[in-house]
Structure 1
Amino acid sequence: MSNATKTIHSIPVDAQTGAIAVPIYQTSTYVQEAPGINKGFDYSRTSNPTRAALEQIIAQLENGSVGIAFASGLAAIDAVLKLLKSGDEIIAVDDIYGGAFRLFTQVYEKFGISVKYVDSANAINVFDAITPNTRLIWIETPTNPTLKISDIAAIAKIAKAHSCLLCVDNTFASPALQQPLTLGADIVVHSATKYLGGHSDLIAGLVITKDAVPGEKIKFLQNAGGAVLAPFDSWLVIRGIETLHLRVKQHCINAQAVAEYLEQHPAVDKVYYPGLQSHHNHAVAKRQAKGFGGVVSFTLKNDTEQAAVNFVTHTRLFKLAESLGGVKSLLCHPASMTHKSIPAERRRNAGVADSLIRLSVGLEEADDLIEDLEQAFDAVNKEKPAGINLPAINN
């Protein structure tokens, strides 16, 4: 059975009514027959039928044992980190989402959990960084925002050899393209706000574990911490999953076209997209995923923050906003938006240049998106603000 068919039919028909759509159980509590005797639910922080359906669906899609739904992607990350204790060490990808970096450094380091940041695009860097205190290896692949690709299977072998957990943030790929647990990872996290939801209308996070034991520990932390996903938002994610494969397929087609356009543009310095043959680890991405995703990043030859700001404020179809993975195309300037919490020197060393622009390529016609980028380049080139010297553009 294809993954697309499997996804659609992983969404259950309601056993009680036969409803083809999962019902929204908008309730806080449940009537019990006697103390401790109920129909499997007693309080919606602990469990809710709509949220439980989502958790079962995502576990199936990621080929995992346990799925756990949270109120945000960062709440999901936070729950995973709570598996650690003081004195433990994390090895994390250097090109990491700014919110995760903030959580690691400003919250968990003060509890005695140390973090090393390495370029995991080369698995040997992970191997070299491991110490006896390493308990968790944390990678994003593709990364946010420079789309670095890490070899999940290779790093999983390193993790196993050193009795470490490997957690993969699979947000950019989604289970439509990549299943890290099948490749050897122990835990997968998602910001379901992005491709799983798909419509820029919710905030949600998911954790999926390969084995039941860590999954039950995280399930306990979900209830103990209380950062649970509400029934209506759970239903929205389920609805998004119904069209996931169709949407992601078109995101990939559009992003490839945009990346190829940018790669030949005279004002562009570097283009980051795993689908380009010039991309480092393109072969790894091709081997471990079924597509290259809908995010494209690029830097300008005029490598200044002002040049990037001028560009992102001149597009028409690409809307300037945080987040990604929705139907409408978005763009952002990571250095001053999504990754602002990372110190500038560390950010630049990880490849997040001052002029780097991240595109979330939506579902509009690719030609229209390319035309929008072209007119933005033209507009910025004509203005030539003080201090900005963009290369001449030949149309």
Structure 2
Amino acid sequence: MTVPVPSLNNGHSSTAATTRTPGFSTRAIHVGSEPENSISRGVNTPLDLSTTYKQDRVGVHAGFEYSRSANPSRLAFERAIASLEGGDVLLSQALKDEGIDERESEAGPPGVAFSSGSAATATVIQALGGHGGHLVSVGDVYGGTSRYQLKMAGPLQGLETTYVDMSYSTKPDGGKVETEEEQDSVIVDRIEQAIRPETKLIWIETPTNPMLSLVPIALVASVAKKHNLYLVVDNTFASPYLQQPLLLGADIVVASSTKYIGGHSDVVGGLAVTGNPALLSKLRFIQNAGGAVPSPFDAYLLIRSLKTLALRVREHSRNALAVARWLEEKAIPAGLVRDVRYPGLKRAQETPAQKRERYLAWDQLSDEAKRWLAREGFTRDSEGGFPAGGMVSFHIRSGSAQSQTETSVAETFLETLRVFTLAESLGGVESLAELPLKMTHGGVDPTHRAKLGIDGELIRLSVGVEDVEDLLHDVETALKAAVKA
């Protein structure tokens, strides 16, 4: 299968007019949407609904044969997301190292689009896991991912999964681990103890779902490289604006583009990006053979959304920090909640592990995000913390001895909310709230859930871009009604 790549500036390459690398939003708006790609030269990306394409002679065509294999609208999205995740730079260098002219490569763009995040997950595990293999996964992982690992890849591929805690904040008191070297060593030891001769890959998400723990990508990448394993990072919660795992050593980044990439709760999609030509070839083969591709209109909507990704993520992050600070500084002292999870939150009293995790949240930010925060006057030690994504998790204080299963107080809170909507999913412009125990993680093994802290008191918020005063009032009103009840 040949996937055409127009010979246009991909957003990173130098041109005769400039040697400056365009910024994130510039690439989000222009890469894949070049007017030269349209016969009319329209500034909006054309929507190509054709399912098949004319061939001049048998096997001679303009790069498109059948829409499942390649579609111009999908190709535009794939080029754009590859640029934003940094995959285009890495693939270009890899091809150069192999002595391959990028213009003659049949690899296509390093971004591969799918019909859902679950389809992207399935494709990557199929491509890398093999038969009778083994993968090491972060323990606090999206319920849909663990479902596929255990109930699909296990029976169908004979692939076994071992779950490992890869975070710094593993105990409420931070444990006895004090130095950075000790903290790193603990994580490395846990991973290496789980690795077997048949292990094929390490799978992480960071921030994790739903506990918002952070995994040190570069550290885990060094372990993967040492043991000749692939590292896959689910970047759904952060988005490429805040975090670029490929540039930190990951081999593949996956995401549900339904979430922050789409951002408007109106399209389901998934993606995988890699700068490794061999891995890219595998992903594209399964994409074509399996056929779990987004429709042209889905791709069109995702391109529309990418153009405002930076603006939206900034506002999500500002609002989420405000909510997290209110919960930490007001709701905990008032006895309404017992803890708060937010990557950029600076607590008045924090353990060494919590401080290290906050520093990690800063260190793993993309250069673009760090420049934005610097312009806004934030540092990693700013009072109260810094904006670092739109997700907040906390445990409501129910006072129930059966808090592992009792959910009445949490449900009252959720049902009292008026600005936040009780619903699954995340990353849309509207604020959402959910109860992981009974919703997104209802299918996770109860013992494993309890170990992670996913109980009847855990609330997960996807903080939207509404007026922050309305969000704070909504949370406060619902908490007081629920805990009082």
TM range, smaller chain: over 0.9
Amino acid at match of 1:337: M
- The separation in 1 between residues aligned to 2:358 and 2:454, in whole angstroms, is 19
| Residue 410 (structure 2) aligns with | 308
Say if 2:252 is the partner of 1:187. Answer: yes
Say if 2:36 is the partner of 1:10. Answer: no
Amino acid at match of 2:162: K
Equivalent pair of 1:14/1:23 in contact (CA under 8 Å): no
For the residue of structure 2 that corresponds to 1:91, the secondary structure is: strand
Say if 2:163 is the partner of 1:117. Answer: yes
- Map residues 52-71 of structure 1 onto 2, 5 A cutoff: 52-64=75-87, 65=91, 66-71=110-115
* CA shift for structure 1 position 210: 2.1
- Equivalent of 2:358 in 282, 290, 294: 282
Residue deviations 1:161-212 (CA, integer Å, cap 9, x gap):
1010000000110010100000000000010000001100000000001212
- The separation in 2 between residues aligned to 1:177 and 1:381, in whole angstroms, is 35
For the residue of structure 1 that corresponds to 2:416, the secondary structure is: coil
The list of structure 1 runs, each at least 4 consecutive aligned residues, that deviate by more than 4 angstroms after superposition, is none
For the residue of structure 1 that corresponds to 2:41, the secondary structure is: coil
Amino acid at match of 1:121: S
- The separation in 1 between residues aligned to 2:471 and 2:153, in whole angstroms, is 41
- The separation in 2 between residues aligned to 1:230 and 1:311, in whole angstroms, is 38
- Equivalent of 1:271 in 340, 345, 349: 340
- Equivalent of 2:462 in 352, 355, 360: 360
- The separation in 1 between residues aligned to 2:388 and 2:132, in whole angstroms, is 37
Amino acid at match of 1:44: S
For the residue of structure 2 that corresponds to 1:219, the secondary structure is: helix
Equivalent pair of 2:202/2:230 in contact (CA under 8 Å): yes
Equivalent pair of 2:113/2:269 in contact (CA under 8 Å): yes
- Map residues 229-240 of structure 1 onto 2, 5 A cutoff: 229-240=294-305
Amino acid at match of 1:370: L
Say if 2:62 is the partner of 1:39. Answer: yes
Say if 2:51 is the partner of 1:51. Answer: no
- The separation in 1 between residues aligned to 2:472 and 2:299, in whole angstroms, is 34
- The separation in 1 between residues aligned to 2:224 and 2:456, in whole angstroms, is 33
Say if 2:47 is the partner of 1:24. Answer: yes
* CA shift for structure 1 position 76: 0.3
- Equivalent of 1:94 in 139, 146, 162: 139
Instruction: Return 174-183 or 81-90, whichever deviates more.
Output: 81-90
Task: Name which one, 1 or 2, has greater alpha-carbon Rg.
Answer: 2
- Equivalent of 1:77 in 121, 129, 139: 121
| Residue 392 (structure 1) aligns with | none
For the residue of structure 1 that corresponds to 2:136, the secondary structure is: strand
Equivalent pair of 1:95/1:352 in contact (CA under 8 Å): no
- Equivalent of 1:104 in 149, 156, 163: 149
- The separation in 1 between residues aligned to 2:202 and 2:483, in whole angstroms, is 44
- Map residues 206-225 of structure 1 onto 2, 5 A cutoff: 206-225=271-290
* CA shift for structure 1 position 85: 1.4
Residue deviations 1:330-370 (CA, integer Å, cap 9, x gap):
00111100011102111111222221110000000111100
Alpha carbons of structure 1 residues 338 and 148: separation in structure 2 relative to 1, 3 Å: same
Equivalent pair of 1:263/1:270 in contact (CA under 8 Å): yes
| Residue 335 (structure 1) aligns with | 437
For the residue of structure 2 that corresponds to 1:334, the secondary structure is: coil
For the residue of structure 2 that corresponds to 1:175, the secondary structure is: helix
- The separation in 2 between residues aligned to 1:73 and 1:262, in whole angstroms, is 31
- Equivalent of 2:326 in 261, 267, 275: 261
- The separation in 1 between residues aligned to 2:238 and 2:208, in whole angstroms, is 10
Equivalent pair of 1:86/1:113 in contact (CA under 8 Å): yes
- The separation in 2 between residues aligned to 1:154 and 1:225, in whole angstroms, is 34
Please report the TM-score for the alignment, with normalisation by the length of structure 1: 0.94
Amino acid at match of 1:358: R
* CA shift for structure 1 position 126: 1.8
Equivalent pair of 2:274/2:280 in contact (CA under 8 Å): yes
* CA shift for structure 1 position 113: 0.4
- Map residues 148-163 of structure 1 onto 2, 5 A cutoff: 148-163=213-228
For the residue of structure 2 that corresponds to 1:181, the secondary structure is: helix
Amino acid at match of 1:244: L
- The separation in 2 between residues aligned to 1:272 and 1:246, in whole angstroms, is 23
User: Unaligned stretches of 5+ in structure 2?
Assistant: 1-21, 92-109, 169-186, 370-386
* CA shift for structure 1 position 216: 1.2
- Equivalent of 2:211 in 114, 130, 146: 146
| Residue 107 (structure 2) aligns with | none
Equivalent pair of 2:410/2:482 in contact (CA under 8 Å): no
User: Unaligned stretches of 5+ in structure 1?
Assistant: 385-395
Residue deviations 1:208-258 (CA, integer Å, cap 9, x gap):
012121011100000000100110000111100000000000100000000
RMSD of the TM alignment (CA)? Answer: 1.3
| Residue 476 (structure 2) aligns with | 374
- Map residues 312-331 of structure 1 onto 2, 5 A cutoff: 312-331=414-433
Equivalent pair of 2:133/2:198 in contact (CA under 8 Å): yes
- The separation in 1 between residues aligned to 2:57 and 2:83, in whole angstroms, is 33
- The separation in 1 between residues aligned to 2:299 and 2:395, in whole angstroms, is 37
For the residue of structure 1 that corresponds to 2:211, the secondary structure is: coil
For the residue of structure 2 that corresponds to 1:116, the secondary structure is: strand
Amino acid at match of 1:328: E
Instruction: Return 9-18 or 340-349, whichever deviates more.
Output: 9-18
For the residue of structure 2 that corresponds to 1:313, the secondary structure is: helix
Residue deviations 1:88-135 (CA, integer Å, cap 9, x gap):
111011111001111110111113100000111153222332222211
Equivalent pair of 1:67/1:208 in contact (CA under 8 Å): yes
Residue deviations 1:136-184 (CA, integer Å, cap 9, x gap):
1000000111101000000001000101000000011001010000000
Please report the TM-score for the alignment, with normalisation by the length of structure 2: 0.77
Instruction: Return 48-57 or 284-293, whichever deviates more.
Output: 284-293
